[in-house]
Amino acid sequence: MIDLRLLVAAVTAAVALSGTSFAASQRTIDVITHAAFFSEEMKQSEVVDPHVFVQDIVAPETVGPLGIKHVAGLRPALIERDAKTLPLYTANGKALGIHLGTWAPHWQSRSQMLAETRA
């Protein structure tokens, strides 16, 4: 069995000799939202969130992105075009009790990140 003190000493020596620290080895990870990823993969012209819906009186009952059937009068939220004050609904028309701006307060910067990945 390895002596714990010997293991700690070996790790400490390795870090000291390498000239780095654990704090210095932090990495930055680029994150993209599912809506942005989905829209990119499906070659959508706009960033659409296929999981939440907004009212649109001309929208027919249909099967939307990801195969989610929604009732007439609702359509998937268009992140960059829709007003952030629009209330959100389930595909069956049940109010979620939040607005698009609450659901996705940072979408603009994420959408810009998607545009940068397309360039």
- Is 15 a domain residue? no
- Is 43 a domain residue? yes
93: left (phi over 0), alpha (psi -120 to 50) or beta: left
Quickly count: other Cβ atoms within 10 Å of residue 118's Cβ. Answer: 7
Q: Which pLDDT score is estimated for 16?
A: 62
- Is 6 a domain residue? no
- Is 96 a domain residue? yes
- Is 99 a domain residue? yes
Range of the domain at 61: 34-118
What stretch of H or E contains 17?
helix 4-18
- Is 12 a domain residue? no
- Please state the domain count of the chain: 1
pLDDT in tens, the chain (119 residues): 556 666 666 666 666 666 555 556 677 777 777 788 888 888 888 889 999 999 999 999 999 988 999 999 999 999 889 999 999 999 999 999 999 988 876 554 455 555 555 55
- Strand ranges (DSSP E) for 29-86? 48-55, 62-63, 69-70, 74-78
Q: Which pLDDT score is estimated for 51?
A: 92
- Is 4 a domain residue? no
- Is 56 a domain residue? yes
Quickly count: other Cβ atoms within 10 Å of residue 39's Cβ. Answer: 22
Q: Which pLDDT score is estimated for 20?
A: 55
Q: Which pLDDT score is estimated for 60?
A: 97
What is the sign of the dihedral through the CA atoms of 91, 93, 94 and 95? Answer: positive
Q: Which pLDDT score is estimated for 97?
A: 94
